[in-house]
Amino acid sequence: MELKITLTGWFIYAALLLYLAAWVALLSGFKKTGRVLFSAGFFAALVAVACRGYAVSHFPMQSIFEVFLFMGMLVYPVSLLCRRTMLNTSETIDPLLGALLLIPAGFVFSATPQKLPPALQHWLFGPHVAVYLAGYLFMFKAGAVAIKLLILPGGNPDSTQRNQEVWNLLRLGFPLLTLGLILGAWWGKIAWGNYWNWDPKEMWALAMWLVYAGYFHVYTATRGKLIRLNSAIALLGCLIILCTLLWANFSRLFAGLHTYAY
């Protein structure tokens, strides 16, 4: 465990507490209070991201600490977008998701600043990573709803509505994953001379994309009737996202071009 006794750290912990308070409020039926606490947590996380960016003098999305911090901040805009564009979205889970993402940033991963390597000193760094992280959040939110679908007994009247919600969330996230893959290939050509380098992280990103493409194929072919299968595929996608974020960075089994990002 590593406590962050810095200005960035204090704002992380403030955001974490506000997110948890928002979750409890929403869970207890106090929707207005929950939303106010959630927005306050977002602003605390936003300040933490800004402080980190100022400290390292680049987009704070290089290290795994910065990645989880940035996702913890981005949860609120994603939740707000879902509320504005989707009916009956599972709002209660959002501040809890934000808190779960800030816990690794606040207590697990090292916040030691890292020198930005030449490959990352390019304007594509920010857009490529940001669209991926936003896409991950839609997929994580869909995965949380999918867990509920797997727990619900068969024939539950809420199942059809939640199954549709998973579909809608993945439809929002999948284009972002696709854009991230395209931007990564473009950047790879600029940085390393090839659009595709068979790097472990590239392979995990492709596997993730194929799993979600498989979800859409199964859902369309069965007209959404195989709810448990659809939910299982959505959860498999979340597992591969975690492997892409964690295993592909920390594994020493294979050499990779992305090993600078810890």
Question: How far apart are alpha carbons 99 and 33 in whole angstroms?
Answer: 17
Domain ranges, ordered by start, for the chain: 1-108, 129-262
Q: Which tens digit of pLDDT belongs to each residue from 84-132?
A: 988 778 899 999 999 999 999 999 998 988 877 766 677 778 888 999 9
Question: How far apart are alpha carbons 134 and 28 in whole angstroms?
Answer: 28
Angle between helices 125-151 and 64-85 (to 10 degrees): 60
138 pLDDT tier (thresholds 50, 70, 90): very high
235 pLDDT tier (thresholds 50, 70, 90): very high
Question: How far apart are alpha carbons 143 and 95 in whole angstroms?
Answer: 15
Question: How far apart are alpha carbons 24 and 201 in whole angstroms?
Answer: 36
Burial of residue 146 (number of CB atoms within 10 Å: 0-12, 13-18, 19+): buried
